[in-house]
């Protein structure tokens, strides 16, 4: 959690607010990859793409 706090402090001080959507999208896709690794939900995720 400290990594996320440091990341958002960096974004706030450097005024890099445009990076927030990129980070959210990357986190979403990484969550999908982890979830589809070996679960029963994998066929439903593959149909989205």
Q: What is the pLDDT of residue 25?
A: 93
Q: What is the pLDDT of residue 12?
A: 87
Contact criterion met (CB below 8 Å) for 13 and 6: no
Q: What is the pLDDT of residue 39?
A: 64
Going by C-beta distance under 8 Å and a sequence separation of 6 or more, which residues neighbour residue 17?
Answer: 11
> What angle, 0 to 180 degrees and rounded to 10, lies between the N-to-C axes of helices 2-14 and 19-35?
150
Whole-structure pTM value: 0.58
How do the pLDDT tens digits run along the chain, 49 residues long? 798 899 889 888 998 888 889 989 998 888 877 777 766 666 776 666 6
Q: What is the pLDDT of residue 21?
A: 92
**Three-class SS string for 2-42?**
HHHHHHHHHHHHHCCCCHHHHHHHHHHHHHHHHHCCCCCCH
């Amino acid at each position: 959690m400290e990594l996320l706090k440091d990341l958002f402090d960096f974004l706030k001080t450097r005024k890099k607010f445009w990076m927030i959507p990129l980070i959210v999208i990357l986190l979403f896709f990484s969550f999908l990859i982890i979830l589809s690794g070996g679960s029963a939900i994998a066929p439903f995720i593959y149909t989205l793409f």
